[in-house]
Amino acid sequence: MADIMKLRLKFAEAGDMRWLSHLEITRAWRRIVSRAGLPVAYSEGFSPHPKIALSPALAVGVGSEAEYADIVLSDHVPAGEALDRVNFCAPMGLRAVAARAMDLRAPTLGSSIKIVDYRLVVARELPEADIATALNSISASLLRVEHGGKRTAVIFRLPVEAKLNTLILSIEESLELQSTLRTIDRVAQWVLVDDSLVDPIDLDRPGMDENGKAQRDINFDGRI
C-alpha cells in the first residue's frame, strides 16, 4: 500500500524569480515537481489539481531566502532524494535548500507562519537614528543594521499580515529613498511555539498537539 506523505521544501526566490507573481511561482513548482517525477497527490472533484501549497505570498519584486512549499505525495520518497530531484529540474532562482517529511496533520504553512524578517539594502549610507524612526513609523522591529562601503543593509521584523508594499512606500518616503537604489528580500519566516520562533522546516510534529501547540521544549538557536 502506498504511503502518503507531506514533503516540506525550503527554497529561495532569487534573480528574475522575484518578478513572478505568487500564482506564477505556484505554477512553476507544479512544473518542477512534475518534471522531477515525484508522485504528487491530486485533489478530488471535477478539476483535480496537484496538492502543492506555498507559504504566504511575496510582493512582486521582493526576493527571498526562505520560502516554503508543502507537497503531498501519494508514495514515500526520502527527503534527500526529493531535494536532489527537484533541484535537478528547478531554474537557478528557485533552488530548494532543505527538505523534510512532515506529519500529514501538521499545521499548514498559511495558518502557522506568524512572523517574517526582511532585509532592505540601500546603495548609500543611512544614519541609524533615521532608520529607527522610519521603522518605528510602521511598527516594525529593527533587528540589526549592517554598513559596508556606500551600502546599508537593514534587517527588520513584521507580522506576516503586514502589507509590505504600503510599508516600503512609507520607508522610502521617510528615508528619501529611490526605489531603483534599493532591494528588499525576505530572509526568514517564523512559527511561534511557546513564545519561541521556529523555522517551519524545523517543526517537529510529534512534539505538538492537534492545534500546533508545543507539548515539549523546542530549542531556538537565534537565527534570523
Topology, domain 105-224: Alpha-Beta Plaits (3.30.70)
Please tell me which residue, 195 or 117, carries the higher pLDDT value.
Answer: 117
Distance (Å, whole) CA 34 – CA 31? 5
Q: For position 204, what pLDDT does the model report?
A: 67
Residue 8: pLDDT above 70?
A: yes
Assign domain 5-104 to its CATH architecture.
2-Layer Sandwich (3.30)
Residue 216: pLDDT above 50?
A: no
Lowest mean per-residue pLDDT among 31-40, 84-93, 198-207 = 198-207
Residue 24: pLDDT above 90?
A: yes
The DSSP output letter for 181 is: G
pLDDT above 70 covers a percentage of the chain that reads 90
Tens digit of each residue's pLDDT (9 = 90 or more) over 171-184: 888 888 877 778 89
Rg (CA), the chain: 19
Q: For position 218, what pLDDT does the model report?
A: 30
Model confidence band, residue 47 (pLDDT cutoffs 50, 70, 90) = confident
Q: For position 209, what pLDDT does the model report?
A: 39
Tens digit of each residue's pLDDT (9 = 90 or more) over 51-109: 999 999 999 999 999 999 999 999 999 999 999 999 999 999 999 999 999 988 888 99
Q: For position 176, what pLDDT does the model report?
A: 83
Domain ranges of the chain: 5-104, 105-224
Predicted model pTM: 0.85
5-104 and 105-224: same fold? yes
Q: For position 14, what pLDDT does the model report?
A: 94
Please tell me which residue, 127 or 208, carries the higher pLDDT value.
Answer: 127
Place of cell 548609500: 124
Within a 13 Å sphere around the CA of 213, how many CA atoms are in the beta-carbon half? 2
Tens digit of each residue's pLDDT (9 = 90 or more) over 131-174: 898 898 888 999 999 988 788 999 999 999 988 888 888 888 88
Residue 22: pLDDT above 50?
A: yes
What mean pLDDT comes out for the span 24-44?
94
Place of cell 528619501: 176
Q: For position 45, what pLDDT does the model report?
A: 75
Angle CA(172)–CA(177)–CA(178) in degrees, nearest 5?
110
